[in-house]
Amino acid sequence: MTVNKSNPNLSDIYSPIVDSLDRVKGKISSLKDDKYSDVTPLVKHVITSNGKKVRPAVTVLSSKFHPNDGVAVETMAAAVELLHIATLIHDDTVDNSDMRRGKGTVSSLWGVDEAVVLGDYMFAASATFVCDTGNIRVIRRFAETIMELSKGQMNELIHAFSSEQNMDDYYERIYNKTASLFATAAESGAILSGADENIVNALRTYGINLGIGFQLIDDILDIASSKEKTGKPVGNDILQGIITLPVLVHQKNNPQDDSVQRYFEKPDDLLQVNEILNKISDDSVVEECLDIAYRYKDKASKALEILPDTTERECLLDLLEYVFIDCRY
Amino acid sequence: MTVNKSNPNLSDIYSPIVDSLDRVKGKISSLKDDKYSDVTPLVKHVITSNGKKVRPAVTVLSSKFHPNDGVAVETMAAAVELLHIATLIHDDTVDNSDMRRGKGTVSSLWGVDEAVVLGDYMFAASATFVCDTGNIRVIRRFAETIMELSKGQMNELIHAFSSEQNMDDYYERIYNKTASLFATAAESGAILSGADENIVNALRTYGINLGIGFQLIDDILDIASSKEKTGKPVGNDILQGIITLPVLVHQKNNPQDDSVQRYFEKPDDLLQVNEILNKISDDSVVEECLDIAYRYKDKASKALEILPDTTERECLLDLLEYVFIDCRY
């Protein structure tokens, strides 16, 4: 089942844009400068965490197909990362998570109320950065993206432990909760560079498919990675009543199997959940899920074909490899 | 202690702008039209509550000092009300409130997680409305206002049960949590109408002082209104460890009294809290607080002197009366 490729390293991928990303980091750090504000210690905590910065890198790389001075693009990249941080703060609050990127979460360290308010502050701070680009089209997309992110989160909350979720619902949810921001990250970089609409569309398509692929892989790893490492699938998603690709694929192939429905009706039945986990972590299910995920990788890659063959295009393709590489274990 | 004035009625005050406010209501209602979204039932719940609509009325009235078609202004007024609703959703979540405007809160009916996510959605929805105005200056002020609102909330959370809060801290907090949005409501109406900067500034000054006065009166009524009605001050603020004007005035006049500090060190000491409530609801304290609040009313009213003497200017003055009228009980 393994496809061996050399694992691309993020610092190698980022090397052509390392100066840009440093300036993006500087812009984000400027949020710590408000000495007299009560939010400052919490802001420091969340912005000094070491994320992978995939989204701002996508924005910067997407701006490299039309000459521009980089100022608006780097501001936008900072906004995209700040928005991502804001959503993580509220996600961790909603999920009762204690740890994030190797540090305690705001809700676990300061409290749920503080996390709600800090998330709001970070949403607004990210919005002021987008305003600094001066581009209404990009500002609007940004606001719509926050609406989509919230819709994705709400869908997950409202339909937890409901077995009536089909493949279409699932794709809509992961578009909203993950792909939307990747799409905006890519699209806004292209728009702010002044690129033609066909390039803007190509990069948006890349972002959507990278984002969907990113989430599909995440959902597959929820089962497959832990099984690979520990011999036992953990399956956090199904334990939280969230139906993802492996369950949907298993159900498609076994329409008579009502074990998920029975588990959702009695979520304390751990025998039942173990039975489900064994079924959905079966090699044939995982393989079929990976085939589906790789279709999105192909779509993302194909979208870039209209772009000139530059270093930055290569970096966008390498980012795809990075997201997908660990999955054919 | 009573100053009798005829109590202005909101529907009378709004009568010159009733058509505008109806269109604002229609714009807000359009958020319910997304039939396939999981957020829709929750959106319906929060936008059909009957608020007083003071903030959107301020936006519309502030736009009436320069000819304009009203379209951008009404969109902005809808955004201002939606932002207010978004903050109420998160405030109620943070405060564990069960009721709002005579209905159950989102957090009590659907859950805290759902309230966090719905608040985010409403923030974003309000931002898309502001984007529809096409005015970057107004969009930026809107984002800054959300930052200020969050700072005000965070200040209240972080310094609860801390006796080291002085008058300056208090004014900064109430500017952030209340006056900021009133200021933006007024300022944005003027900006979008195309009015001159001196009119924009006058209306912003009106908004700030109306907002501070609004919050001062609210904080005074927290003690005085219940005492008037029931003979007993309720004092929700002090019970939640929040220092407001009556405490600050009492402390200024009695610097040797450390009862608040002692209560904050042992917040379950109900005898202590009763003693404090009796002190801060004393007629002389309330009277001094009202004198302070009325100074903001005067400043708001004075700011409008440069405006032409029109019906709409009269309405803005009547709104001031409305906010302040119930207080000289």
CATH number of domain containing A237: 1.10.600.10
Report whether pLDDT(B227) > 70.
no
The residue of B140, B150, B162 whose CB has the most chain A CBs within 10 angstroms, and thus the best one to mutate to test that interface, is B150
Beta strands in chain A (DSSP E): 99-100, 103-104
Helices B112-132, B71-94: crossing angle, 10 deg rounding: 160
Size of the A and B interface in Cβ pairs below 8 Å? 136
User: Which of residues A18 and B228 earns the better pLDDT score?
Assistant: A18
Q: What's the pLDDT at B97? A: 86
- Kindly state the percentage of chain B with pLDDT values over 90: 79
Residue A4 lies in a domain: no
Residue B287 lies in a domain: yes
User: Which of residues B184 and A235 earns the better pLDDT score?
Assistant: B184
Nearest by CB to residue A120, choosing from B114, B118, B150, is B150
Residue A5 lies in a domain: no
Tokens linked to A6: 């050399």
Give B-chain residues touching A127 at CB under 8 angstroms.
127, 143, 146
Lowest mean pLDDT among A196-200, B31-35, B66-70, B240-244: B31-35
For residue A305, the distance in angstroms to the closest alpha carbon of chain B comes to: 33
Q: What's the pLDDT at B75? A: 98
Residue B284 lies in a domain: yes
* Residue of A41, A184, A62 whose CA lies nearest to A126: A184
HEC letters along A222-236: HHHHHHHHHCCCCCH
Q: What's the pLDDT at B230? A: 63
Residue A3 lies in a domain: no
Chain B touched by A136 (CB under 8 Å): yes
Q: How confident is residue A267, by pLDDT bands cut at 50, 70 and 90?
A: confident
Residue A318 · residue A54 · CB < 8 Å: no
For residue A311, the distance in angstroms to the closest alpha carbon of chain B comes to: 35
CA distance B63 to B57: 10
Domain boundaries, position A176: 10-320
Q: Per the CB < 8 Å rule, is A155 touching B119?
A: no
CA distance B52 to B99: 16
Report whether pLDDT(B7) > 80.
no
CA distance A294 to A280: 18
Q: What's the pLDDT at A230? A: 63
Report whether pLDDT(A276) > 70.
yes
CA distance B184 to A226: 51
Q: How confident is residue B328, by pLDDT bands cut at 50, 70 and 90?
A: very low
Instruction: Count, in order, helices (H) and strands (E) of chain B.
Output: 17, 2
CA angle B104, B105, B108 (to 5 degrees): 85
Chain A touched by B90 (CB under 8 Å): yes
Q: What is the mean pLDDT of the segment spanning B302-308?
A: 98
pLDDT, chain B, mean: 92
Q: What's the pLDDT at A232? A: 65
Report whether pLDDT(B121) > 80.
yes
CA angle A133, A134, A136 (to 5 degrees): 110
The radius of gyration of chain A from alpha carbons, rounded to an integer in Å, stands at: 20
* Residue of A44, A16, A95 whose CA lies nearest to A316: A16
Q: What's the pLDDT at A190? A: 98
Report whether pLDDT(B270) > 80.
yes
Kindly give the residue spans of alpha helices, DSSP state H, lying in B95-196.
Answer: 106-109, 112-132, 136-158, 167-174, 180-193
The residue of A154, A159, A242 whose CB has the most chain B CBs within 10 angstroms, and thus the best one to mutate to test that interface, is A154
Report whether pLDDT(B3) > 50.
no
Give A-chain residues touching B159 at CB under 8 angstroms.
38
CA distance B313 to B111: 43
Residue B216 lies in a domain: yes
Q: Which residues of A307-319 are buried (b: 16+ CB within 10 A; e: fewer)?
A: beeeebbebbbbb
Q: How far is CA A162 from the centre of its chain?
A: 24
User: Which of residues B57 and B50 earns the better pLDDT score?
Assistant: B57
Lowest mean pLDDT among A195-209, B85-99, B245-259, B305-319: B85-99
Give B-chain residues touching A130 at CB under 8 angstroms.
143
Q: Per the CB < 8 Å rule, is B146 touching A120?
A: yes
Residue A173 lies in a domain: yes
Nearest by CB to residue B114, choosing from A37, A112, A157, is A157
pTM of the full predicted structure?
Answer: 0.94
Kindly give the residue spans of alpha helices, DSSP state H, lying in B159-306.
Answer: 167-174, 180-193, 197-230, 236-239, 245-253, 259-265, 270-280, 283-303
Q: What's the pLDDT at B231? A: 66
Residue B2 lies in a domain: no
Which residue bears the tokens 């209240």? Answer: B156
Q: What is the mean pLDDT of the segment spanning B61-74?
A: 98
Structural domain count of chain B:
1
Nearest by CB to residue B151, choosing from A38, A93, A143, is A38
Report whether pLDDT(A84) > 80.
yes
CA distance B298 to B320: 9
Give B-chain residues touching A140 at CB under 8 angstroms.
128, 131
Q: Per the CB < 8 Å rule, is A127 touching B127?
A: yes
Lowest mean pLDDT among A18-32, B2-16, B304-318: B2-16
Tokens linked to B199: 């009119």
Residue B119 · residue B91 · CB < 8 Å: no
User: Which of residues A87 and A49 earns the better pLDDT score?
Assistant: A87
Q: Per the CB < 8 Å rule, is B154 touching A128?
A: no
Q: Residue B295 carries which side chain, given as an amino acid letter?
A: R
Q: What is the mean pLDDT of the segment spanning A282-297?
A: 96
Nearest by CB to residue B144, choosing from A118, A128, A134, is A128
Q: How confident is residue A281, by pLDDT bands cut at 50, 70 and 90?
A: very high
ipTM: 0.92
Q: How confident is residue A259, by pLDDT bands cut at 50, 70 and 90?
A: very high
Report whether pLDDT(B173) > 80.
yes
Report whether pLDDT(B246) > 60.
yes
Q: Which residues contact B169 (CB under 8 A, 6 or more apart)?
A: B155, B159
Q: Per the CB < 8 Å rule, is B154 touching A127?
A: no
Tens of pLDDT, residue by residue over A163-180, are: 888 999 999 999 999 999
In three-state secondary structure terms, B100 is strand
Q: Residue A263 carries which side chain, given as an amino acid letter?
A: Y
* Residue of B63, B45, B43, B61 whose CA lies nearest to B53: B61
Q: How confident is residue A98, by pLDDT bands cut at 50, 70 and 90?
A: confident
Q: How confident is residue B225, by pLDDT bands cut at 50, 70 and 90?
A: confident
For residue B61, the distance in angstroms to the closest alpha carbon of chain A comes to: 26
Best mean pLDDT range from A161-165, A303-307, B9-13, B276-280: A303-307
Report whether pLDDT(B244) > 50.
yes
pLDDT, chain A, mean: 92
Going from the C-alpha of B251 to that of each of A262, B103, B166, B218, the distances in angstroms are 63, 37, 10, 19
User: Which of residues B219 and A2 earns the better pLDDT score?
Assistant: B219
Report whether pLDDT(B327) > 80.
no
CA distance A255 to A71: 54
Give B-chain residues touching A147 at CB under 8 angstroms.
121, 124-125, 128
A 10 A CB-CB count for A145 gives: 23
Kindly state the helix (H) or strand (E) to which residue B103 belongs, with its residue range.
strand B103-104
Q: What's the pLDDT at B277? A: 92
